[in-house]
Amino acid sequence: MPNPYPTELRARAVRAYEAGDETCEQIATRFEVGVATLERWLRRQRVEGTLDPLAKAGGWRSPVNGDFLRRVIAERPDRTTDELTREYNRQAAPAARVHRSSILRALQRFGYVFKKNDPDRRNSIVHGSKPNAPPSRRGPRP
């Protein structure tokens, strides 16, 4: 979801409409917002007395239980993600089954990485290290 329009922009657009010189369509075009957006701002100002944006809400919650996943990894850290997903689903209740992509996202979120070993050794899932380099700057160098 994109960030909401600034409150100052909302206030200027509502003040322009309340001045009564232009239509909603003209004001929306001038401020480069949709007509329905301007109408919602006007309604919100009239009903609630505020133009502040609503708090962001929603999104999804991961179905993967972090503590349970860590316990499954600790049992045998050299499992592949397919094996890890099967074991997680086997030990979890039938209603808590998850897809491999959910396990992969959870591993990334919890800081696990896939350590590549010699061809004759199996891969293992380990915690990643903290980056030690500062983030690069944007823009031209001084």
How do the domains of the chain map onto residue ranges?
A: 7-48, 66-127
Q: Which option is the CATH number for 66-127: 1.25.10, 2.60.40, 1.10.10, 1.20.120?
A: 1.10.10
User: Taking residues 99-128, what's their average pLDDT?
Assistant: 74
Q: How far apart are CA 38 and CA 54, in angstroms?
A: 15
Q: Is 113:123 a contact under the CB 8 Å cutoff? A: no
Cα-flanking dihedrals φ and ψ of residue 23, to 5°?
-85, 170
Helix/strand/coil for 115: strand
pLDDT at 60: 80
Beta-carbon contacts of residue 60 (< 8 Å; ≥ 6 apart): none
How does the average pLDDT of the chain come out, rounded? 84
pLDDT at 6: 95
pLDDT at 57: 80
Indicate if the pLDDT at residue 127 is higher than 70.
Answer: no
| pLDDT category of residue 28 using cuts at 50, 70 and 90 | very high
